Amino acid sequence: MFVIFGAAGNVGRVSAAALRRAGREVRAVVRHARQGDALAEIGCEIAIADLLDPASVAQAIEGAYAVQILCPLPHADADPATAMRRMIDVSANALRANPPQRVLALSDYGAEHPSGTGITTLFHLLETQLAPIDSQLTFLRAAEHMHNWARVLPIALARGVLPSLHHPLSKLFPTVAAEDVGLLAAELLLDDRPAKVSPRVVSIEGETRVSPFDVARTLGALAHRQITAYEVPRGEWAAMLHGAGLSENHARLITDLYDAHNAGRIDVETEISERRYGATALESVFASILARAAETSAVNADAR
């Protein structure tokens, strides 16, 4: 049994589908029953679990051959870092108590740093907590997800300005499509060759690094309008993030992360990482986001 946590998310659903296509039994772990409908249709067993609830996590991994673990940042929590640390503790304790043969943890570029990287510091904690588990362990470190730009695309389309915390706007940074992360995760879980080292560290990013200028040009070409990249001044970050509804604690995690990005600390750890590259281009991801947004608008219009 292959157990996929976060199976309704952008990465997890791709991993679950790939494993089903390979003929494997998959237990798709979701938080709410309605999230499991599409996964059940492709033959997944559905498990409901809350990563803050030790009993439900322990039940979800029962009988697993392999587990793909994801501890997401709980955006709605007033103190998301504390909540994510609790998720990590619960997950690691469950896996230590009942270790499957294989564990793959979804992690981030920069996770080798113990401090000073905002959200990514939490992925360092995840890797540290999982390291003692008696399993064949893989850390799949992904570059920034292309889909993250979806948060500011409505602003860019409405105003013709794409706000960026990446400084300077000409700087190239690694990014990757969630679909490519999910496909590689499934491939690594299916790789039954004995690991040379454990934990095995694998990195993934897109074939081409991009700058905020590139992001703005790509969006503008798809939307058939001029989009200009805008370097949000460092002193305005907190106010902008608070205005977007983020708590003070959440905003601090974001600002610390982009300070680290802009200082060059968030990148692949070349000395130990096996490097992989995703084939999905930024244009493809943005086209999909825009298509879904158009479908949603059409549905809402019909409902009025």
Name the strand (E) or helix (H) holding 4. strand 2-5
Name the CA radius of gyration of the chain, rounded.
19
**pLDDT at residue 299 in the model:** 40
Classify domain 2-145+176-205+267-280 at the CATH topology level. Rossmann fold (3.40.50)
Cβ–Cβ < 8 Å for 196, 109: no
- Span 154-158, mean pLDDT? 92
- Asked if pLDDT for residue 302 goes beyond 70, the answer is no
Interval 3-12: pLDDT, tens: 999 999 999 9
Interval 220-263: pLDDT, tens: 999 999 999 999 999 999 999 998 889 999 999 999 999 999 99
Q: Say whether the peptide bond before residue 80 is cis (omega within 30 degrees of 0).
A: no
Q: Of all residues in the chain, what percent carry a pLDDT higher than 70?
A: 97
Interval 76-121: pLDDT, tens: 888 999 999 999 999 999 999 999 999 999 999 999 999 999 999 9
- Per-domain residue ranges for the chain? 2-145+176-205+267-280
- Asked if pLDDT for residue 295 goes beyond 60, the answer is yes
Rounded Cα–Cα distance for residues 74 and 71 (Å): 9
**pLDDT at residue 76 in the model:** 84
What pLDDT band is residue 270 in, cutting at 50, 70 and 90? confident
Cβ–Cβ < 8 Å for 260, 118: yes
Cβ–Cβ < 8 Å for 3, 67: yes
**In terms of Cα–Cα distance, which of 138, 238, 276 is closest to 194?**
138
**pLDDT at residue 193 in the model:** 83
Q: What average pLDDT does the structure give for the chain?
A: 94
